[in-house]
Amino acid sequence: MALNRVVLVGGTGFVGSAIANRLSAAGVGVRVPTRRRSRAAHLLMLPTVEVVEADVHDPATLTRLFADADAVVNLVGVLHSPPGRPWGVAFERAHVELPRRIVAACEAAGVPRLVHVSALGADPDGPSEYLRSKAAGEAAIRTAKAAWTILRPSVIFGRGDSFLNLFAKLARLFPLLPLAGANARFQPVWVEDVAEVAWRCLTDPTAAGQTWELAGPRIYTLRELVRYVSALVGHPRPVLALPEALAMLQAALMELAPQPLMSRDNVRSMRVDNIAHGAPLPFGLTPTALEAVAPLWLGKASVRAQLDPFRRSAHRS
């Protein structure tokens, strides 16, 4: 299948930006809808990327956006939501209603290919509204007439992420890190590996109808990740593991913030391990180790990496 134009729904975010870069490097036209063009300023320099101000929750707008597309990639997801039934209202809008609208718009516009980025652990019987709503969104994608692929990444790390960088910031600010879900297990995957898988899903016909988990090469507890990051940034901190009752209280207080770092639903999500059940990546790809790349943007190593080009130009080692 010729791949001339791909629409990235949710393409201005951390993962979407990596996929836009991968597609642009291959010479593929990329259309990125966004509510505010200023949010996509970092993408405007990419030669094949078109940024369009649009409301992706409007069905007619989606159909117009998809009109000349060879494929659509949906990356929209939220971590927090006001309460609602059967799950939070923001989860319903982003994780369930939007995938339904995307499927309908793909059909109306005749889009032949659809890649949907979900979450590792998505389950209609999962312990959290987040995981259950993600599963409902997957169910909607599987009704598509377009050839679909569902990707379920573990937590995604990389330069500019909201995962490792959050712990780095907290380690710089506080001498002790009280931690909910300290023993929860994760298998973090590098954002560039996710972008490569997305690219292959769009270009390899064997990806159609597949649901694949995406993970890194190693499993960590959350406690191990926080200790590693705090040491990496030069502020090693002790971790105080909170029992779930205290973790829920801490999360309830954090929910009062305009942009909460944690919610009680997040704590419930950590009741199940966020790890792959088979190969960490499809297509026989080898996942990148966190330790191989995280030092490039965290701590003293990041400063050294930024200075290396200047050292080389000055003929210094």
For 60-82, b where at least 16 C-beta lie within 10 A, e where not — what string? ebbbbbbeebbbbbbbbbebbbe
Average pLDDT of the residues in 142-163? 96
Which residue has tokens 């997040």? 266
pLDDT at position 300, please? Answer: 60
Share of the chain above pLDDT 90, in %: 87
| pLDDT of 313 higher than 60 | no
The CATH number given to whatever domain includes residue 106 is: 3.40.50.720
Q: Which pLDDT tens digit goes with each residue over 46-85?
A: 999 999 999 999 999 999 999 999 999 999 999 999 887 8
Residue 125 lies in a domain: yes
CA–CA dist 120, 278 (Å, integer): 12
Residue 201 lies in a domain: yes
Closest to 194 (Cα-Cα) out of 31, 32, 15: 15
| pLDDT of 198 higher than 60 | yes
Could you tell me where the beta strands, DSSP code E, fall in the chain? 5-9, 29-34, 49-53, 71-74, 113-117, 147-153, 156-157, 177-179, 185-186, 189-190, 210-214, 220-221, 239-241
Q: What is the DSSP code string of 149-196?
A: EEEEE-SEESTT-SSHHHHHHHHHH-SSEEETTTT-EE--EEHHHHHH
Residue 182 lies in a domain: no
Cβ atoms < 10 Å from Cβ of 227: 20
Lowest mean pLDDT among 79-93, 158-172, 295-309: 295-309
Average pLDDT of the residues in 86-103? 96
Residue 46 lies in a domain: yes
| pLDDT of 204 higher than 70 | yes
CA–CA dist 317, 309 (Å, integer): 10
Cβ atoms < 10 Å from Cβ of 314: 7
**CA atoms 52, 56, 58, 62: torsion sign:** positive
Residue 60 lies in a domain: yes
Q: Which pLDDT tens digit goes with each residue over 208-247?
A: 999 999 999 999 999 999 999 999 999 999 999 999 999 9
| pLDDT of 310 higher than 70 | no
Regarding pTM above 0.75, the answer is yes
Tally of domains in the chain: 1
**Which range marks the domain in which residue 70 is found?**
5-157+189-215+273-288
Residue 289 sits at φ, ψ, to 5 deg, of -70, 140
The token duo for 185 is 């297990």
